[in-house]
Amino acid sequence: MELRWGDRTWVMGIVNVTADSFSGDGIALPGRGEAEIVAAALMQAGGFVAAGADLLDVGAESSRPAQFYGEHPPVSADEEAALAIPVVTALAAAFKNRARISIDTTKGTVARLALNAGATIVNDVWAGRRDHDTFAAAAESGAHLVLMHNKEVAEYPDGVFDEVVAFLRSAIEDAVETGVPRERLIVDPGIGFGKTPAHSIEILHRLAELKAALGGLPTLIGTSRKRVIGELLGGAPLDERLEGTAASVAVAIASGADIVRVHDVEVMMRTVRVADGIVRWRA
């Protein structure tokens, strides 16, 4: 399945092989062995694909922002691989030709193992700042590479928009120099990562401008269940952010998003179909 941009929005379903995801949907629960974790991932991903998801994003280390959700224990490459690779292997085999597998990691060793196991996308939420080897892994395999903006502390003395653009331009240049073809790059402004709700709202409001500033590269947006949604809904808890997420997905598509990364795939697929039907309408 080739990723082609402009005709429609691609939907990425989130498969959290963790126990401590901010969204409460981690499947690596205490006491579960590898077989149980793989079975749970297959069941979840099967529902996503049946609903129409194109991409399955497998992550085995929580990337929730420590500034807002508290510190979480670091996961070694070996621990991360032990959780992620059996799931990537199983999903790649089960959904061959139906969905692409993405590995959500900041570690080059984990990326390489996942790519060897059937993943075709590296989703690095630190855009190589934690481990530049993720770029080399993508370059050597011919994988797509997602470059996300991130920051430890949500402080932007010169403005969030300009800093995000500068960060991503630098990451794009670095990735190309490492050998990743520009046509294999995807950018993500990192909604909620190192950003207050106000920062995230500004980025979403100026998404079309941001995409143009980055040369029109395909853009991934992940707003699903995030703090900014709860804030806009007056402090709504995680389980009351579905409609707000759908609204943010529709706005993102109207502003040029090419991929939306979501937890609630079935509902968001309906949202995407309606948004695409309006935004991409041709007489």
Give the bridge partners for 221, in sequence order: 260
Q: State the angle between helix axes of 108-117 and 77-94 in degrees (0 to 180), rounded to the nearest 10.
A: 20
Query: What is the pLDDT confidence band of residue 19, given thresholds at 50, 70 and 90?
Result: confident
Mean pLDDT of 26-45: 88
Q: What is the mean pLDDT of the chain?
A: 93
The model's pLDDT over 173-199, given as tens digits with 9 standing for 90+, comes to 999 999 999 999 999 999 999 999 999
CA distance 222 to 99: 18
Element (H, E) at 128: none
Least confidently predicted of 9-18, 21-30, 101-110, 143-152? 21-30
pLDDT of 97 strictly over 70:
yes
CA-to-CA distance for 121 and 15, rounded, in angstroms?
14
Q: Catalytic pick from 107, 151, 225, 261?
A: 261
pLDDT at 29: 67
Instruction: Give the chain's radius of gyration (CA, Å).
Output: 17
68 — pLDDT class (breaks 50, 70, 90): very low
59-63, 111-115, 133-137, 262-266, range with the lowest pLDDT: 59-63
CB 270 within 8 A of CB 51: no
The two beta strands, 220-221 and 100-104, are unpaired
Asked if 57 and 13 count as a contact pair (C-beta separation under 8 A), the reply is yes
What is the C-alpha to C-alpha distance for residues 101 and 95, in angstroms, rounded to an integer?
9
DSSP state, 8? S
* Higher-pLDDT residue of 113, 66: 113
Phi and psi at residue 126, to the nearest 5°: -120, 10
Active site annotation includes 96: no
DSSP string, 50-72: HHT--EEEEESS----HHHH---
Query: Does residue 261 carry a catalytic annotation?
Result: yes
Active-site residue, selected from the candidate residues 64, 100, 206, 226: 226
Rounded CA separation 78/132 (Å): 18
Query: What does the pLDDT look like over 235-283, one tens digit per residue?
Result: 999 999 999 999 999 999 999 999 999 999 999 999 999 999 999 998 5
| Rounded Cα distance, 165 and 227, in Å | 22
